[in-house]
Amino acid sequence: MASSWIKIEVITPDKPEIYQIAEILKLDPDAVLGKLVRLWAWADQQTVDGHTSCNTMSVTKTAIDRITFTSGFASALIKAGWLLESQQAMIFPNFERHNGNSSKKRALTNRRVSEHRQGKRSGNAAGVSRHDQKRLPEEEREKETKSNNNIVPPAVEKKYPDEFETLWQQYPAREGSNNKINALSCWKARRREGISDAAMLEGTRRYLKFCEAKGQIGTAFVMQTQRFLGAGREFANAWQVSTACGKGGLDCLPEPDYSIPEGFRG
């Protein structure tokens, strides 16, 4: 049994696999992340390095669905490449790299080294000479590779297709986050399904007019672009603003009447 904690990377919530699983199951990406944390915590306690064959029980896809309280969750993980199915067991790829015992020891060592260096910067180790200190393994490796680290590779500028850039520039502004990389992934997915660039762009323009008419530009009512271009195909909606007045509707007031009644004398 492993330690009573698991390691989650800060980039995990924005990984494409999260959004792929969310699209397959029609769930919110944050809900998918929460279910994954629950599943990984279970795997950390009940498996050896992510191999369910080491468990005393035979773990099936149905069992994983029950652990996450979501039907089809195991199949979605397999499609995303985060779960492998064999005749002997269900396997979490690269589990040992992130949450095995050796990985956790490395994480704790890195934290200890970071705190050690921070203590030296703040003067906590002022009374200890360099000669008396035992060099940490990470410092030895840092010394050996210091010369190689002086070479900084040039930054790679992210390039987006012109067709996507046109759509992105015309999409209504919203309050809150709007991840461009995730939106691009959804845009490419619709392309692979045979949806034309023109269809998605026209849908964007209709939605822009809709948001303008509703006064929603720059508010949280504007949906995230990745959802607009997602599997739900919100871009295919008509996005028409009804101008008809419902019976007794308060949103439809008559135009002001500026005519002077007959016989009226000022």
**pLDDT one-digit tens code per residue, 77-99:** 999 999 988 776 778 887 766 56
Instruction: Say whether 110 sits in a helix, a strand or coil.
Output: helix
* 8 Å CB contact between 104 and 3: yes
pTM: 0.38
Looking at residue 242, its pLDDT comes to 74
Looking at residue 93, its pLDDT comes to 80
Looking at residue 249, its pLDDT comes to 43
Contacts 24+ apart (CB under 8 A), 39-45: 39/64, 39/67, 39/68, 39/73, 40/6, 40/92, 40/99, 41/6, 42/67, 43/92, 43/95, 43/99, 44/2, 44/3, 44/6, 44/99, 45/1, 45/2
Instruction: Say whether 48 sits in a helix, a strand or coil.
Output: strand
Looking at residue 169, its pLDDT comes to 96
CA separation for the pair 227, 190 (Å, rounded): 12
Looking at residue 142, its pLDDT comes to 64
Looking at residue 73, its pLDDT comes to 95
Residues of the chain with pLDDT under 50: 1-2, 50, 54-57, 246-259, 264
What are the residue ranges of helices labelled H in the chain? Answer: 16-25, 29-46, 61-68, 73-80, 95-99, 101-121, 137-144, 146-149, 162-170, 180-192, 197-214, 225-228
Looking at residue 256, its pLDDT comes to 46
Looking at residue 113, its pLDDT comes to 72
Token couple for 126 = 């002022």
